[in-house]
Structure 1
């Protein structure tokens, strides 16, 4: 008996290129609520489905796009930024090349490990120094966040350094004020470096004719520049510290020499 024509393969048994989903099926595959899919469509992040009467059918391309959106959201992108990246994809760029550039630019520079403790444990590290004013100061600087009685410091290394300074006799308020001034300085350093790269590396590129090969070259270049920036700052700070510490040591030794009694007998 001849086999009957089953029509286009749109069910789960079809090849990946032929699979299509109703909106509830797409939501299940992507792991997002249906209302989120509708919101993405309203924001032009997700193209409309193919229509069969009143039924909307979504393709594997819709699913791939949803996974890219989820990935970028997890990495801290806004929906507007994601829409721009997806626009580059639609204009013919390989999405892997686009995401490679995005990763080279946005991969966190900081490798600090946060540490969480109770508010009482934090206070015990700085006896008599943790009060509402100091807590608000630390929050405003981004050093800590508070959830109920739990305090999370963004960097275990920085917390340890602060403890060491306070135990050596530096008031916590002075450490926090120095941190505020330091943040302004490093913000200026970051601005200078980014402006230099944008002006001399990214700026001359004609983005309207940028192909995937050029995109990959730009990605490699930006990745190579990252350690150079870190070395420039680390080496410059180390050199400045050597100079300033030597100046202060010379002053201390000068005072010691001026106040140390001599061993010569009194000539009188």
Structure 2
């Protein structure tokens, strides 16, 4: 494992391509963690350098310093990935995705605000893992980004996702009761066979429900 490098303030500023004055400003705004103190000398490390490069990348993507501060606060208060996914989680079809704050900005542009990040963390879509963000489902990440590109505000996507979660939980309860009532030995192998059948029913019913609603909607 490479030895952790440390920098004095002037060295860190030079590595990050900013002035010492800017570095002091970021520190005062709590955009970077406090340095390690050794007497009167402040020592910074690669974590500080990474944070400074993230700030620069987010500024280039149009984020303000206030917005970056809100993102950092939401990120630091989020649950870790073990709490969200569970250490002994059940097998799942969903693929988690590791992201940086810059990746989130690339997916959602100006919609990647501290408020929306906090909502996604609360919903359990996002979790933290050390210095990284983890989205619990690549499919949900891609769909959310596609909706935002179509013009749906991310706040509306997350609000609808919370309601969808409630209905999905109710559907899961319904199918599990049916399986445990009518199938013998409802263990892991049975669940592996049952899961795609349940998903197919839900997908087909949703497709037909959308068709019905579209037929009922008066044309302009």
> Normalised by the shorter chain, which TM-score bucket?
0.5 to 0.7
Deviation string, structure 1 residues 147-175 (Cα, Å, up to 9, x no partner): 35421111222111111111111100000
Distance 1:235 1:140 in 2: 30
Which residue matches 2:215? 246
Unaligned runs of 5+ in 1: 1-73, 78-105, 203-214, 256-268
5 Å matches for 1:130-209? 130-202=112-184
Other structure's SS at 1:116 match: strand
Deviation string, structure 1 residues 119-174 (Cα, Å, up to 9, x no partner): 12202322222222211110111111123542111122211111111111110000
Distance 2:194 2:131 in 1: 42
Q: Given the alignment of the two structures, is residue 76 of structure 1 paired with residue 88 of structure 2, yes or no? A: yes
- C-alpha displacement at 1:199, in angstroms? 2.7
Which residue matches 1:80? none
Q: TM-score, normalised by structure 2?
A: 0.53
Distance 1:223 1:131 in 2: 38
Unaligned runs of 5+ in 2: 1-85
- Find the structure with the greater CA-based Rg: 1
Other structure's SS at 1:128 match: helix
Distance 2:130 2:87 in 1: 26
- C-alpha displacement at 1:181, in angstroms? 0.3
Deviation string, structure 1 residues 50-94 (Cα, Å, up to 9, x no partner): xxxxxxxxxxxxxxxxxxxxxxxx9817xxxxxxxxxxxxxxxxx
Give the number of aligned pairs. Answer: 135
Deviation string, structure 1 residues 9-64 (Cα, Å, up to 9, x no partner): xxxxxxxxxxxxxxxxxxxxxxxxxxxxxxxxxxxxxxxxxxxxxxxxxxxxxxxx
Distance 1:131 1:112, change over 3 A: same
